[in-house]
Structure 1
Amino acid sequence: MLAKDFIQTKEDLVFAVVEQGLENGKVLCFLRYIKQGISWVKVATDQANQLLQEDYPQYLYFSAVKSARLHAVSTADIYIHHQPRRQLQLILTKQNPDAIERDLIALCQLLVQQGSQITNLGVTGSLLIGAQNAKSDIDLVVYGRKQFHQHRDYIRELTAEGRLQQLDDTAWQESYQRRMCDLSYAEYVWHEQRKYNKALIKQRKFDLNLIEVAAPQIEITYQKQGEVVIQAKVTDAQYAYDYPAKFIIDHPTINEVVCYTATYTGQAEQGESIEVSGQLEISSTGQMRMLVGSSREAQGEYIKVISHL
């Protein structure tokens, strides 16, 4: 089970997987879609929490490892495992794709022309379960860190050639409003424009998401110590686009910044100074880190560059 996979229960609840592997036999995830009639409906965070509290409390879970309240589904309760790679292959061979699927196919064709291998790609979000509508974005998954950065180069090249389009002000405004982040609009756009992990194809926005399949690691637990704001220099940003994103920093007491919200993925580069607002955590091994994205909206939490290269 990987992040960006979806899992569906027999009650027709669809959860987005947020963490590779299992914790106590459960998949850590978050409720994203419910069935209404024959259609899938996307649910907001508060709505998802309320629905589970009232009707499906078995899917609420306190993670001792993360010291956080999450959604979680036991493997025995998984009815369908929706996998991005498999779904992309199904769409690419579809006889009568809809408008958004045609845009996805066109995007994949452009990427293949640049050198992409389709086997490294998948599709998540609404397209993963056929819940898309005419205004849906495309959420493309790239498996492997090296491959992901190659695809960022492809996006840069294709936009320079005019075969893809950079986001216009309307698209940036929509993206900013959806994120509801603690940056100004100008700050948000400045950080995003240099990432080359999103663009427009035929006026439809798409995003690239990195999934790096990690080897099992020793389980380390974390305890929250409260909200803090720090400034530090980034000494290693090679995991900046991972899930979770990770920045190694030069700070007297804190070793790293870990981020679970896509808003701040890839936010800084090695050698840049950043300001971070988030939860201070201490691990079971005595190491201290900053967590950004302790809640889905990450209100009051951010990463921003204050001195760039």
Structure 2
Amino acid sequence: MGRDYFLDRDIIIDKEGNVYTVLTNYNPPGYVFAYLKYVYTGKGIWNGYERIFKKYGVHNLIKINQRFNFESCYDASFPIVLLSNISRHLKPEERLREILKKSVSDSIIYALISFIEEYVRVNDIGVTGSILLGNYHSNSDIDIIIYGRKSALDFIESFDGFEKDSEWIIEANENYGINFSSLLYDNRRRGIYRGIKISVLFADDKPWRYCNDICKKIGKVKFKAHISGDYEALIYPSVAYVLDNNEYNVSKIVSYEGIFSSALFGKRQVEVEGLLMSCEKENVVIIGDKDVRGFIRPL
């Protein structure tokens, strides 16, 4: 029997046919944190769906015309979908099982199956994005999602990487207004395989507790630090821990910008700009606030 809870990168479709991507493993009673990605117009290259969320990043997310709800625990607003308005819940792992049962009929699905069979344990993965929704086209990317700590770390440690996707570096610099995206690029997580662009994403396979800590905004900060990030750095939101003392007494960095996840994984020195939050348990710096976008630059 399939799961009845929502996980990061699931897709939900509302009663009007609008398509949303779930963006957390924690969701409050009555609604789900999810951003609007497609609306159905009957036109375009995505089998009649028009893409609303065209470029990633919180600075683009906040421009979407959908309902946002202020969450006092996090002192921030999140895009939401009411449970009462959900028509369908699409799950990456179920979609992958459907695909693997069918005969190979196009280059994208062939590349997906070939990659999975060679590198990843089928029971711990799914496929998200346009393949999950079923509106992919000949130039669509493949978005693979790996669930659970062990499978994620096994993959990162054993996979040598894809062919380099230079376009990703150029587009990331332009979209985020930075000049160091080459330092953030990890060809184990993004690249080209058999001529198809592939992204490998990671998600916990269990729901999280909503409102686990109460935080309040303090203000913008910038500092250098030695950090350490394990599995929590790979999933969303990405988390790493500060190893040395700093003037703001920050113990943890949390990024809602997926582009900086690779910079938080492992041990390294970074320059950080973000929003200082005073929480019940510790001081945290958030990357990806609507007013303080921030960044993480490996040194």
2:133 corresponds to: 129
Cα–Cα, structure 1 residues 142 and 173, in superposed 2: closer, same or farther, change >3 Å?
same
Q: TM-score, normalised by structure 1?
A: 0.82
1:209 aligned to 2:201? Answer: yes
- Following TM superposition, by how much is the alpha carbon of 1:50 offset from its aligned partner in structure 2, in angstroms? 5.0
Residue 120 of structure 1 is aligned with which of 116, 121, 124? 124
1:233 lines up with 2:226 in the alignment:
yes
Letter in 2 for 1:239: E
Partner in structure 1 of residue 284 of structure 2: 289
Q: Specify which of 238, 262, 281 is matched with residue 258 of structure 2.
A: 262
Q: How does 1:138-217 map to 2 (within 5 A)?
A: 138-156=142-160, 159=161, 165-167=162-164, 171-178=165-172, 180-184=175-179, 187-193=180-186, 196-214=188-206, 216-217=208-209
Alignment equivalent of 2:31, drawn from 26, 29, 46:
26
* Unpaired runs of at least 5, structure 2: 1-5, 55-59
How far has the Cα of 1:119 moved from its partner?
Answer: 1.0
CA, structure 1 residues 34+251, in 2 after alignment: closer, same or farther (shift >3 Å)?
Answer: farther
Aligned to 1:55: none
Do the aligned partners of residues 200 and 251 (structure 1) sit closer, same or farther apart at CA in structure 2, a change above 3 Å counting? same
CA distance in 1, matches of 2:232, 2:269: 16
Distance 1:219 1:263 in 2: 25
Which protein, 1 or 2, shows the higher relative CO under an 8 Å CA cutoff with sep ≥ 6?
2
Instruction: Judging by fraction of residues, say which structure has more helix.
Output: 1
Contact residue 237 and residue 248 of structure 1 kept, 8 A: no
Alignment correspondent of 2:57: none
Query: Over residues 187-245 of structure 1, what are the superposed CA-to-partner deviations in whole Å (9 max), with x where a residue is unaligned?
Result: 3223324x622231112111111111346446212222222212111145442112111
Residue 105 to residue 125, structure 1, CA distance change in 2 (3 Å): same
Identity of aligned residues (%): 21
Whole-angstrom distance in 2 between the partners of 1:177 and 1:40: 23
Cα distance in 2 for partners of 1:199, 1:12 equals 32
CA 1:104 to 1:279, structure 2 compared with 1: closer, same or farther past 3 Å?
same
Q: Report if aligned partners of 1:181, 1:263 keep a CA contact under 8 Å in 2.
A: no
Please report how far the alpha carbon of residue 67 of structure 1 lies from its aligned counterpart in structure 2 after TM superposition. 1.9
Q: 1:166 is matched by which residue type in structure 2?
A: E
With over 3 angstroms needed to count, the CA separation of the structure-2 counterparts of 1:265 and 1:13, relative to structure 1, is same
SS of the aligned residue for 2:137 comes to coil
What secondary structure is seen at the aligned counterpart in 1 of 2:159?
helix
One-letter amino acid of the structure 2 residue matched with residue 257 of structure 1: I
Report SS of the residue matched to 2:65.
Answer: helix
Report how far residue 129 of structure 1 moved. Answer: 0.3
Q: Report the alpha carbon displacement of residue 48 of structure 1 after superposing the two structures with TM.
A: 8.0
Describe the SS at the equivalent of 2:24: coil
Question: What is aligned with 2:268?
Answer: 272
Residue pair 1:248, 1:256 contacting (<8 A) in 2 also: yes
Give the superposition deviation at 1:274.
0.9
- Whether contact under 8 Å (2:220, 2:292) holds in the other structure is no
TM-superposed deviation, 1:27: 0.5
- Quick one: distance in 2 between partners of 1:175 and 1:223? 34
Q: Distance in 1 between matches of 2:194 and 2:228?
A: 38
Q: C-alpha distance in 2, partners of 1:269/1:105?
A: 28
Note the aligned Cα RMSD (angstroms): 2.4
Deviation at 1:51, TM superposition (A): 3.4
Q: SS of the counterpart of 2:197?
A: strand
Change (3 A) 1:153 1:271: closer
Which residue pairs with 2:111 in the alignment? 103
Task: After TM superposition, give the deviation of residue 125 of structure 1 in Å.
Answer: 0.9
Distance 1:174 1:236 in 2: 23
Match of 1:44 among 23, 36, 53: 53
Distance 2:26 2:105 in 1: 33
Residue ranges of structure 1 left out of the alignment (5+ in a row): 53-58, 160-164
Alignment pair present for 1:89 and 2:97: yes
Distance 1:123 1:142 in 2: 9
Q: Choose which of 243, 249, 257 in structure 1 pairs with 2:236.
A: 243
